Chain A
Amino acid sequence: MSYGKYVLRKGLWYLLTFFIATTLVFIIPRLIPGNPISAIVAQMGSGVPSESMQRVYESFIRDYGLDKPVVLQYIDYMKNLFHGELGISFSLYPKGVTEIIGEALPWTLALQIPAILVGWILGNLLGAYAAYKRGKFDKVLFPVSLLVSAMPYYVLAILMQYIFGVYLGWFPPSGGYSMSAFPSFTFDFMVDILSHYTLPFVSLVAVTIGSQAIGMREMSIYELNTDYVNYSRMLGLEDRKIVSYIFRNAMLPQITGLAISFGTMVGGSIITEIVFGYPGIGTWLFNAIRQNDYPLIQGIVLVITITVLFANFFLDIMYGFLDPRIKAGEMEEG
């Protein structure tokens, strides 16, 4: 199988996954009795508390075509999705969901991408080192990372907020920038942004390190016992060289591992943002849930899904590029 074919197959697979995911987001609420959508429609019939709410709901019913048959609703939903039309927010009426997300997403990406990368790299280095040393270092590292990875990201986030943000007061405990600061490209504002960035960033990195190190340690131990490592030793290759072999080969599954752990990371990053009141989409999701802002909830869920699928697709493509076994068609996906 050529690399091009591999990419094509992956692409089709992710397209299928995209349709299933978005369809689930459409169907699930409509399947459950008493769901927010039918609740709104019912409320319209029996009179709504305020006139402004009535206007909000009317536009919702119109936007979502709720007076039409479900099949047509679905087609509209898909059409709107492809046009990036995610409806109007209830809580910030008449602001569009797309616009709100557009403002929040850069904050989230600027926090997540560096945190995941740094955590992934550090975690892998640490895990490989632990596997190679096996001795005291490993004996200490393993329980510590087990404890750290057993500590849920939100607990770690709250603890860090309390210790470094409140008790020691080293960093601002919450927010993306100071209320008093004026957003501009000045040095002071950058410092302000960075100081707010530190705590959420470090807590995300710490969690990622823990889980990646454990995975990498296991993969490296596996690689350490492989025949090619023994053979390299018998041919007189230096440890340094052998370690680089092991590192590279143990790292490959870690790329897929990273892709798969996105699913869990998403939850972690949403709540980390909430704890630190960081102005990303996690915090917006939190507010939307509190205020029953259904269009915003749905919009954020869709955007996160699509982002995660894209990230996964990208990692799969990279993996296929780095591992010759894929090109030779020896391994299947998954």
Chain B
Amino acid sequence: MMLEVKDLSASYVLPEGEIRAVDDVSFSVDEGEILGIAGESGCGKSTLAFSISFLFPPPLRHVGGSVLFNGKDLKNFNDRELRKEILGTKISYVPQSSMNSLNPTRRVKDIAFDIFRAHMDISEKEMYERAKERLDLLSLPESVLNMYSVELSGGMKQRVVIALSTLLGPELLIADEPTSALDVSSQRIVLKELKKLFKDGVFKSMIIISHELIILKHLAHRIAIMYAGELVEVGETERIFKEPLHPYTKALIGSVLEPGKRVEREKIPSLPGAPPDLREKITWCRFYDRCPFADEKCKRKQELVERDGRLVRCERGKDI
């Protein structure tokens, strides 16, 4: 197992209260595996992704649980060691906000050099060559190296960020909504590029996050569904799509628009209501208020249990 996340909890601690954005989350990623994480905006996907780095810059705070990478507990690394030995080289990120992730006053080349310099000692010429190669793999011309962020289009920015994030050949790439800021055609290209990099072995495993389940369908081997800070279902992609067990997963699949196919609006079962406030402590099923199948039994704590080779957090899953 490459990555093992155990009972991880993290909160934003603000003067007006604590937001538990990641609540007791456990999952793992094997070598050679692509794990998808899906859920509505605001359910804590990005926070979960970031918490894996174990950096926790304020106001984010580690509440409990651990992250094991290749068997090593990241808790035992201090901030400096994490950055020097893990981030960028072993675990790398394509952040959600790729459009603003490039320093506006530095050329792509210089950002690449900064990344190399933080982790290894090679000549500037070699850095340049390597950066050029990586851009080439992503079908970006060499001239991009001399450009500033403002000179790049949205799709190019996203690909530049992917190139920079994979510059050192990380073992695990965490891509947070790599397509959500793009138009449909750029989305397709970016997904294809990610798949290509994976096939080429530029990185060994990937966690890909999206608020649209469909994006993950042809890419992820397994999918984890997140709701209000918790995982509610984890299973193989095909089975999740074929036979969702949690009512929320059902709703997500139902509300998905498949690109290319025309679906009439009225036929999409939309999900009424909004997720609960993460500041409140809810001890029973968090989907209770919006679940069409909810009854008295759901008013108690739901555990993530194994059923049919899948993990699901709903004891009524079978009956519905």
Answer yes or no: A and B touching, Cβ < 8 Å. yes
- Indicate whether A325 sits within 8 Å of B103 (C-beta atoms), given known contacts A227-B95, A234-B93, A241-B114: no
Return A182 CB to nearest CB of chain B, in Å: 52
194-234 of chain A: CB within 8 A of chain B: 226-228, 230-234
Q: Is B115 an interface residue (CB 8 A)?
A: yes
Pick from B50, B83, B101, B104: contact of A236, CB below 8 A: B83
User: Is the pair A235, B105 in contact by a Cβ cutoff of 8 Å?
Assistant: no
Give the size category of B's interface with A. 20 to 34
Return A326 CB to nearest CB of chain B, in Å: 10
The interface bits of chain A over 282-323 (1 if a CB of B lies within 8 angstroms of the residue's CB, else 0) are 000000000000000000000000000000000000000011
Q: Is B128 an interface residue (CB 8 A)?
A: no
User: Is the pair A324, B92 in contact by a Cβ cutoff of 8 Å?
Assistant: no
Return A240 CB to nearest CB of chain B, in Å: 10
Return B297 CB to nearest CB of chain A, in Å: 42
Across-interface contacts of B53 in A (CB, < 8 A): 234
The interface bits of chain B over 60-104 (1 if a CB of A lies within 8 angstroms of the residue's CB, else 0) are 000000000000000000001011101111001101010011111
The closest CB in chain A to the CB of B103 belongs to: A228
122-154 of chain B: CB within 8 A of chain A: 148, 150-151
Pick from B104, B118, B150: contact of A237, CB below 8 A: B118
User: Is the pair B148, A238 in contact by a Cβ cutoff of 8 Å?
Assistant: no
User: Is the pair B95, A248 in contact by a Cβ cutoff of 8 Å?
Assistant: no
User: Is the pair B118, A238 in contact by a Cβ cutoff of 8 Å?
Assistant: yes
User: Is the pair B118, A249 in contact by a Cβ cutoff of 8 Å?
Assistant: no
191-207 of chain B: CB within 8 A of chain A: none
Q: Is A332 an interface residue (CB 8 A)?
A: no
Q: Is B9 an interface residue (CB 8 A)?
A: no
Return B94 CB to nearest CB of chain A, in Å: 9
The closest CB in chain B to the CB of A325 belongs to: B150
76-118 of chain A: CB within 8 A of chain B: none
User: Is the pair B105, A323 in contact by a Cβ cutoff of 8 Å?
Assistant: yes
User: Is the pair A330, B100 in contact by a Cβ cutoff of 8 Å?
Assistant: no
Cα distance A237–B84 in the bound complex, in angstroms: 8
Cα distance A172–B164 in the bound complex, in angstroms: 60
Q: Is A252 an interface residue (CB 8 A)?
A: yes
Q: Is A245 an interface residue (CB 8 A)?
A: yes
Q: Is B11 an interface residue (CB 8 A)?
A: no
141-191 of chain B: CB within 8 A of chain A: 148, 150-151, 161, 164-165
- Indicate whether A236 sits within 8 Å of B103 (C-beta atoms), given known contacts A241-B114, A330-B150: no
User: Is the pair A328, B151 in contact by a Cβ cutoff of 8 Å?
Assistant: yes
User: Is the pair A324, B101 in contact by a Cβ cutoff of 8 Å?
Assistant: no
Among A228, A238, A241, A328, chain B packs the most CB atoms within 10 A around the CB of A228
User: Is the pair A236, B105 in contact by a Cβ cutoff of 8 Å?
Assistant: no
User: Is the pair B100, A227 in contact by a Cβ cutoff of 8 Å?
Assistant: yes
Across-interface contacts of A323 in B (CB, < 8 A): 105
User: Is the pair B105, A328 in contact by a Cβ cutoff of 8 Å?
Assistant: no
- Indicate whether A237 sits within 8 Å of B115 (C-beta atoms), given known contacts A230-B95, A324-B150, A328-B148: yes
User: Is the pair B118, A236 in contact by a Cβ cutoff of 8 Å?
Assistant: yes
Across-interface contacts of A234 in B (CB, < 8 A): 50, 53, 55, 87-88, 92-93, 95
Q: Is B254 an interface residue (CB 8 A)?
A: no
Return A241 CB to nearest CB of chain B, in Å: 6
Cα distance A315–B184 in the bound complex, in angstroms: 43
User: Is the pair B104, A235 in contact by a Cβ cutoff of 8 Å?
Assistant: no
User: Is the pair A236, B100 in contact by a Cβ cutoff of 8 Å?
Assistant: no
Cα distance A75–B119 in the bound complex, in angstroms: 68
User: Is the pair B57, A227 in contact by a Cβ cutoff of 8 Å?
Assistant: no
Across-interface contacts of B101 in A (CB, < 8 A): 227-228, 230-231
Pick from B80, B88, B100, B151: contact of A235, CB below 8 A: B88
Return B208 CB to nearest CB of chain A, in Å: 16
- Indicate whether A226 sits within 8 Å of B151 (C-beta atoms), given known contacts A245-B106, A248-B105: no
Across-interface contacts of B105 in A (CB, < 8 A): 248-249, 252, 322-325
Across-interface contacts of A324 in B (CB, < 8 A): 104-105, 148, 150-151
The interface bits of chain A over 4-28 (1 if a CB of B lies within 8 angstroms of the residue's CB, else 0) are 0000000000000000000000000
Cα distance A226–B97 in the bound complex, in angstroms: 10
Across-interface contacts of B89 in A (CB, < 8 A): 236
Pick from A226, A238, A248: contact of B100, CB below 8 A: A226
Across-interface contacts of B88 in A (CB, < 8 A): 234-237
The closest CB in chain A to the CB of B151 belongs to: A328
Across-interface contacts of A330 in B (CB, < 8 A): 150
Cα distance A325–B147 in the bound complex, in angstroms: 11
User: Is the pair B93, A237 in contact by a Cβ cutoff of 8 Å?
Assistant: no
Across-interface contacts of B117 in A (CB, < 8 A): 241
The closest CB in chain A to the CB of B176 belongs to: A234
Return A24 CB to nearest CB of chain B, in Å: 37
8 further A-B contacts with Cβ under 8 Å, apart from A227-B95, A230-B101, are: A227-B101, A231-B102, A233-B55, A235-B87, A236-B84, A236-B87, A238-B80, A324-B150
A-B contact pairs, 9 of them (CB 8 A): A230-B97, A235-B88, A236-B115, A236-B118, A238-B80, A323-B105, A324-B148, A324-B151, A325-B150
